Structure 1
């Protein structure tokens, strides 16, 4: 019966293509021919005995998957009995099934299937193509589960077996995975590795991540690595822009000017950025690294910002860092060509194109919103409820989430807007359609004329919540979601809902919420951070601004590296930093969850799945050849 239904569905597919043709020439006719092949395979399978029946069903499912007819492919896969397939065909069944699981976001289920004992214990008896495809799928699943070391290991193992084109993309994927691993973990794995290429990759990754503020130290370690690992695959083409380190060290700015507000209402923020920059400078100098001469200018003491900007250059600045304020940053847009590279510490997105030498680096929440959309989508959510405050900030950040979410294929079902604690409950109740549920109950009571047992039911067309809120707001909103029968929905947020320090008594109300935040806030405090917290009063409130200052120091000699190498990153305290086509520094943050009243880092999938989804291109499919 189920096979008959599938044949009817496929017939509908054929009719939709516009009829049959025995001499396909156009793409439409070729697609029709494939649909006919699928229908023929299923018809033949219907009258066949096992295992021939399962083999034909598997072929049909493979063709449907190629045509992105995933629902039909899944129906066929659900029908066949895989244990009846010989090993070679069983391996293909695992590949098709795991592909379908991955596309549904069921990554752990895909991993279990790929690690089934029957396949793993006999993998070496299969063709090299089958083994490669299996290893690449495992690497993909590991990366999507956040097991980046395991993903890198898989790829390192198969790298010699790939052709030159695929080796290059595979090396990029290895590097991408290793760059998600903390320096502490890289050092741990380095101590326990057994040498070989894997050891070389780990050592290179530590060099790339552990010397962000000291180009000379990084260059010395890199040259030593190249001498030791002359035949290593990564030595053919150093990843992540490392080939530019020597030039960057030789051409670093000799004098840098900080243009920041050091008096007035923004003084605490400007001073925190300044102190972070100086702390990073001193740390590098104390380790023997070269640092620029530094001059600091208070933007609040000058009514003419552009005159101050020119003064800094006249007094020897080869690079400007600042301003912090958007209205002063806009003056640099108006100035046209700038004489020196300038790292503005904010971002303007609606003021036209920036001058060529202007780079914008700010702690903008829009980057976090886009990252949350990526993570939620990879975790197989598709229909979002947004909870946001009324006003400019809520509008901009929720719009950034929605744009990325809908570009991925998700749908924003509803925006629940609030103004203050007084309207939290009503706005949530309306957005969850609880009033409609209650009204429906009242109508039924009137119709039957007697009391009925009734439990309100929230809307069922949402599967996740994106919450924009400050800590105190989040501590009220999450319990209200539970009260309004939405406690089963996963909640995602940005760094705005975390104070940046532990408060286990208050944060018990937001247990379970997942959110983005910077390494400086979420990771164990470094020696530099401990010094800042000890020596500077009120440092707790401005943690993120210190990190902005430190990363400004780390970025200032590396802008060319980010410009010239697409996959280059700076691994900063504010996040994983890259440069987009508009000369804006984008940050990828860590991901955390409130667990037992504390923010706990949880692994995230790779930054982009484009490489993962395409890196099997060129691995010959030997299905037809083998049969």
Structure 2
């Protein structure tokens, strides 16, 4: 049975075996010790010279990486020896059979051999070495708890070569248990025990890789838990790497502050210099950005709102970092986007923002390669692969439905009724919500498509919730506390949440009608479509209690740039002021255009934009984590950010 690597096992593909220094030390020493023991034994069937030759042959095979033959020869030699020398030769075989790259059959043999070795015959440091090999085998067998139990109690008191082996097993076992603080601390201790700078750097490389694999929230928590100054320094540097904007000047300020806090830290100067190199490589602002938008087509209002956001981001950028910006109108013909793209490339564009229409994005996605990177403002149809330089960004409504499903499950809801408009968008939202919700273990009990233009949604509510009594006079039942009577719920008992989508007008009508049918206590989770984007406590009072996802730009206490919104509200055109989410998309698009390469090379990092926390998935699609808000007294109040890593299911269409 094949064994899969477990967390912390394969940090750079390095094999877990004794260092070259240790091998060199034990080659001569162990040979001498075993020879002396053999010479003291009576009744040995082979001569002293023969035994010495066979041991030397086994060690030569081991050094030549002929591990199976070396182990077989050690075990063959051991069979002809008495107790004490036999245990020591078996220990040599066990060393080989517990390599990280040993095949499963060798590990199985190692487990058997571990039971056969008579530990009472071992002397000096040999019992500790046996414990380390037993711990190593347990870790390889994906049992980190046993690995930690089998290690010597005080590895720091062992000779350096054994201490290093013990600490390496300990570090990997802690990582396998996701005990990141102990793992980082142990790797750092191991680095300090290395005999030279080359070996020390190898250990610190593993430590740094472990830190970089953690996401930002995990690093934040670990920094608060760290007690060791060295561990705090490593985690603090990881935090710098994940939170510093891709500007060499910003990085230098962050590194100066880090160096003040962590003087004489082993990460300095090597890993600081590496960050400088990465920032220099991935922080280059495009010097010429072309924008492809259908400014005069049927999507003209949307396109102009996006363009106003792009222009706002341009003037928000420090003058010395501003790029050349050239806008191309693609009109009503999606195929014009490719023609304009070629013109932009000929004119020297180093990055292109657009196209907006989904059909045009599909055209770009079919190319095997793109000569100039493209930041599309929509998602292409799902494909096995995309051009390496195609990045996809957009306000995809399916993302909201997916996050609503995740939110419902995280809140403990299991059974949902879906209420969406009878439109193409409503169908897409329903399908995205249902697919994600049921993938997470929930169940959609019913789906109701309502007429968007209606004013009476009683049929939708009665059928979806199976209202038992539609009379306006309500039955009442005594409350348990005896203080007052409560209206008896009349909706089906197998539903505990409603997923709702619709515009502000529909939501303001549906919510009171739910209360009318005594379903007002049912939690309602909605998409951003229910909120106009402009606070109106009187008009939105009927939305009280609804939880919905939206971009931080529109939510007080979540907006990263509140002063910018105040400024733009006075500068935007009347139409764009009514499309604030698209303005935010344009603003983020220009900012992200200089970050995509940085984000692509640093998995787990995100950019806090106006449209959400933005990060790249493996297909170079920009994923938005939205904020959650609840209507209280007619106003949206922020209650959280994001749920989990989004796994987009649908695609937006214009």
Normalised by the length of structure 2, the TM-score is: 0.58
Report the CA distance shift for 1:489/1:171 in structure 2 as closer, same or farther (over 3 A).
Answer: farther
For structure 2, the residue ranges without an aligned partner over 5 or more in a row are: 1-174, 191-205, 475-486, 648-654
Report the CA distance shift for 1:159/1:209 in structure 2 as closer, same or farther (over 3 A).
Answer: closer
Alignment equivalent of 2:604, drawn from 551, 562, 567: 567
In the other structure, the counterpart of 1:330 is 362
Alignment equivalent of 1:247, drawn from 276, 281, 291: 281
Deviation at 1:315, TM superposition (A): 0.3
Show CA shifts across 1:24-72 (max 9, x none). Answer: xxxxxxxxxxxxxxxxxxxxxxxxxxxxxxxxxxxxxxxxxxxxxxxxx
For structure 1, the residue ranges without an aligned partner over 5 or more in a row are: 1-135, 141-153, 181-185, 190-194, 442-453, 611-627
8 Å contact from structure 2 (residues 553, 584) kept in 1:
yes
In the other structure, the counterpart of 2:535 is 502
Once residues 347 and 174 of structure 1 are traced to their aligned partners in structure 2, the CA distance between those partners, rounded to angstroms, is: 25
Deviation at 1:461, TM superposition (A): 0.5
In the other structure, the counterpart of 2:503 is 470
Once residues 410 and 551 of structure 2 are traced to their aligned partners in structure 1, the CA distance between those partners, rounded to angstroms, is: 21
1:305 and 2:305 aligned: no
Alignment equivalent of 2:327, drawn from 292, 296, 299: 296
Report the CA distance shift for 1:543/1:344 in structure 2 as closer, same or farther (over 3 A).
Answer: same
Once residues 446 and 528 of structure 2 are traced to their aligned partners in structure 1, the CA distance between those partners, rounded to angstroms, is: 22
Q: Which structure has the higher relative contact order (CA within 8 Å, separation 6+)?
A: 1
8 Å contact from structure 2 (residues 352, 375) kept in 1:
yes
Report the CA distance shift for 1:218/1:481 in structure 2 as closer, same or farther (over 3 A).
Answer: same
In the other structure, the counterpart of 2:590 is 553
8 Å contact from structure 2 (residues 588, 611) kept in 1:
yes
1:533 and 2:569 aligned: yes
* Bigger share in helix: 1
Deviation at 1:382, TM superposition (A): 1.1
In the other structure, the counterpart of 1:397 is 429
Once residues 565 and 380 of structure 1 are traced to their aligned partners in structure 2, the CA distance between those partners, rounded to angstroms, is: 33
Show CA shifts across 1:158-211 (max 9, x none). Answer: 96479999997688657225789xxxxx9xx9xxxxx99779968975885574
Secondary structure of the residue aligned to 2:444 is: strand
Deviation at 1:471, TM superposition (A): 0.8
Larger CA Rg, structure 1 vs 2 = 2
In the other structure, the counterpart of 1:98 is none
In the other structure, the counterpart of 1:271 is 304
Once residues 172 and 502 of structure 1 are traced to their aligned partners in structure 2, the CA distance between those partners, rounded to angstroms, is: 40
In the other structure, the counterpart of 1:512 is 545
Deviation at 1:472, TM superposition (A): 0.9
Secondary structure of the residue aligned to 2:317 is: helix
Once residues 412 and 232 of structure 1 are traced to their aligned partners in structure 2, the CA distance between those partners, rounded to angstroms, is: 55
1:134-533 correspondence to structure 2 within 5 Å: 160=185, 175-177=216-218, 211=245, 215-228=247-260, 229=262, 231=265, 244-249=278-283, 251-286=284-319, 288=320, 290-300=321-331, 304-350=336-382, 353-420=385-452, 421-422=454-455, 424-435=457-468, 457-522=490-555, 523-524=558-559, 525-533=561-569
Q: How many residues align?
A: 432
Once residues 582 and 236 of structure 2 are traced to their aligned partners in structure 1, the CA distance between those partners, rounded to angstroms, is: 31
Report the CA distance shift for 1:218/1:179 in structure 2 as closer, same or farther (over 3 A).
Answer: farther
Normalised by the length of structure 1, the TM-score is: 0.60
Report the CA distance shift for 1:422/1:606 in structure 2 as closer, same or farther (over 3 A).
Answer: closer
Show CA shifts across 1:555-598 (max 9, x none). Answer: 11222233233312222111111222333211110111111211
Once residues 389 and 311 of structure 2 are traced to their aligned partners in structure 1, the CA distance between those partners, rounded to angstroms, is: 24
Deviation at 1:259, TM superposition (A): 0.9
Report the CA distance shift for 1:352/1:301 in structure 2 as closer, same or farther (over 3 A).
Answer: same
Once residues 268 and 380 of structure 1 are traced to their aligned partners in structure 2, the CA distance between those partners, rounded to angstroms, is: 40
Once residues 458 and 361 of structure 2 are traced to their aligned partners in structure 1, the CA distance between those partners, rounded to angstroms, is: 40
1:578 and 2:610 aligned: no
Once residues 435 and 176 of structure 1 are traced to their aligned partners in structure 2, the CA distance between those partners, rounded to angstroms, is: 47
Show CA shifts across 1:122-141 (max 9, x none). Answer: xxxxxxxxxxxxxx9xxx9x
Deviation at 1:543, TM superposition (A): 1.1
Deviation at 1:462, TM superposition (A): 0.8
Report the CA distance shift for 1:262/1:247 in structure 2 as closer, same or farther (over 3 A).
Answer: same
Q: Which has the larger displacement, 533-542 or 197-206?
A: 197-206
In the other structure, the counterpart of 1:36 is none
Deviation at 1:609, TM superposition (A): 12
Secondary structure of the residue aligned to 1:307 is: helix
Deviation at 1:417, TM superposition (A): 1.4
8 Å contact from structure 1 (residues 197, 232) kept in 2:
no
Once residues 570 and 234 of structure 1 are traced to their aligned partners in structure 2, the CA distance between those partners, rounded to angstroms, is: 27
Show CA shifts across 1:246-291 (max 9, x none). Answer: 2112x442211011122233223222222222222222224x5x23
8 Å contact from structure 1 (residues 277, 550) kept in 2:
yes
Report the CA distance shift for 1:528/1:242 in structure 2 as closer, same or farther (over 3 A).
Answer: farther
Secondary structure of the residue aligned to 1:300 is: coil
8 Å contact from structure 1 (residues 330, 351) kept in 2:
no
8 Å contact from structure 1 (residues 209, 571) kept in 2:
no
Report the CA distance shift for 1:203/1:530 in structure 2 as closer, same or farther (over 3 A).
Answer: farther
Report the CA distance shift for 1:344/1:256 in structure 2 as closer, same or farther (over 3 A).
Answer: same
Report the CA distance shift for 1:489/1:210 in structure 2 as closer, same or farther (over 3 A).
Answer: farther
Deviation at 1:393, TM superposition (A): 0.5
